[in-house]
């Protein structure tokens, strides 16, 4: 069977002035697909085997190529946007005909020249298309363990769940909403710690270190902000989580833990408006 979107080895059924017609031994060479003349290896004869990729040309005809694309059916890859139109975006996947990323398959605003992680699928019209909805493309059998640091790309941001991450472009990861801080966006490459491996194999990730390490890091950040602000920071344990997140990019819980550490070490003290450096810390 000649399979759209896959790399496969086919047999030369016959040659013509426009190229070679290929078939599958499994079909008893009944179905044929054209390999254009400029793609036919020199010296090719009938019944020779050729490894090709099958896609559709600009006239929607199934066609073979010896060029290997950057993505094949069922896989994901990071591809660059060549053009953005109303129907969708066209991506460079290494073949003469660009790959369509339909508007309905986009999960973020697409910018020409930027790269996005996508999967390859066959749509209802039997055409190859790209999608940014790659959740079902990702595996849950990762080799990682709790505490490992991994590298991934954010492929979607859900207001209720958090940031969905393709770890190593292969495995399913999530930065929960409570752990997702900063100005990250779809397409960003991040490094994160495996905080938990779920029973179903999916990875819960954190952008922060273990709590005791992160508390020290957060405390240092607060001290630095205090010094930059002349020894005063207009935040305290009564400040809203939103205000703390906006100014320090950390949760209110993390802020309270770090402040508690600084109070214990007598490096800060409370004021009516927030916190300030204690006299034990030289003013900048």
pLDDT for 205-218, tens place per residue?
988 765 555 677 77
Indicate whether 91 pLDDT > 90: yes
Number of domains in the chain: 4
Average pLDDT of span 53-69: 94
Q: Does any domain span residue 282?
A: no
**High-pLDDT (> 70) share of the chain, %:** 95
Q: Does any domain span residue 31?
A: yes
The total number of residues written for the chain in this structure: 284
Indicate whether 62 pLDDT > 70: yes
* 202 in the same domain as 142: yes
Q: Does any domain span residue 1?
A: no
Q: Does any domain span residue 35?
A: yes
Average pLDDT of span 248-266: 81
The DSSP code for 46 is T
Indicate whether 284 pLDDT > 70: no
The packing angle between helices 241-248 and 252-264, to 10°, is 70
The CATH number for 250's domain is 1.10.10.10
Burial class (CB in 10 A: 0-12, 13-18, 19+), 54: buried
Structural domain range at position 256: 211-277
Mean pLDDT for the chain overall:
89
User: Which carries the bigger pLDDT value, residue 75 or residue 260?
Assistant: 75
Q: Does any domain span residue 71?
A: no
Closest CA to 251 of 194, 211, 199, 283: 211
pLDDT band at 283 (very low <50, low <70, confident <90, very high): very low
Q: Does any domain span residue 237?
A: yes
Indicate whether 282 pLDDT > 50: no
Q: Does any domain span residue 36?
A: yes
Q: pLDDT tens digits for 155-199? A: 999 889 999 999 999 999 999 988 887 778 888 999 999 999 999
* 200 in the same domain as 217: no
E runs forming strands in 170-225: 171-176, 189-197, 203-206
The CATH number for 39's domain is 2.40.50.140
Indicate whether 280 pLDDT > 60: no
Q: Does any domain span residue 2?
A: no
């Amino acid at each position: 069977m000649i399979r759209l979107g896959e790399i496969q080895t086919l047999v030369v059924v016959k040659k013509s002035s426009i190229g070679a017609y290929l078939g599958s031994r499994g079909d008893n060479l009944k179905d044929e697909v054209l390999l254009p003349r400029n793609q036919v290896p020199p010296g090719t004869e009938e019944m020779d085997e050729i490894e090709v990729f099958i896609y559709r040309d600009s006239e929607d005809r199934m066609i073979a190529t010896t060029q290997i694309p950057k993505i094949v059916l069922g896989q994901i890859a990071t591809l660059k946007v060549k053009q953005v139109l109303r129907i969708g975006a066209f991506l460079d996947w290494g073949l003469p005909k660009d790959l369509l990323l339909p508007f309905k398959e986009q999960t973020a605003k697409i910018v020409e020249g930027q790269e996005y992680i996508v999967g390859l699928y066959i749509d209802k019209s039997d055409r190859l298309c790209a999608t940014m909805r790659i959740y079902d493309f990702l595996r849950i059998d990762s080799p990682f363990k709790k505490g490992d640091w991994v590298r991934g790309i954010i492929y979607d941001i859900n207001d209720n769940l958090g940031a969905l991450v393709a770890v190593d472009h292969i495995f399913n990861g999530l930065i929960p909403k409570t752990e997702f801080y900063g100005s990250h966006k779809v397409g960003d490459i991040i490094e994160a710690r495996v905080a938990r491996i779920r029973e179903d194999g999916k990875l819960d990730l954190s952008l922060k270190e273990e709590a005791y390490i992160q508390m020290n890091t957060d405390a240092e950040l607060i001290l630095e902000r205090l010094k930059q602000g002349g020894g005063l920071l207009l935040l305290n344990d009564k400040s809203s989580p939103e205000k703390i997140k906006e100014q320090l990019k950390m949760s209110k819980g993390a802020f309270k833990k770090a402040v508690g550490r600084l109070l214990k070490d007598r490096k800060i003290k409370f004021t009516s408006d927030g916190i300030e450096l204690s006299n034990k810390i030289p003013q900048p």
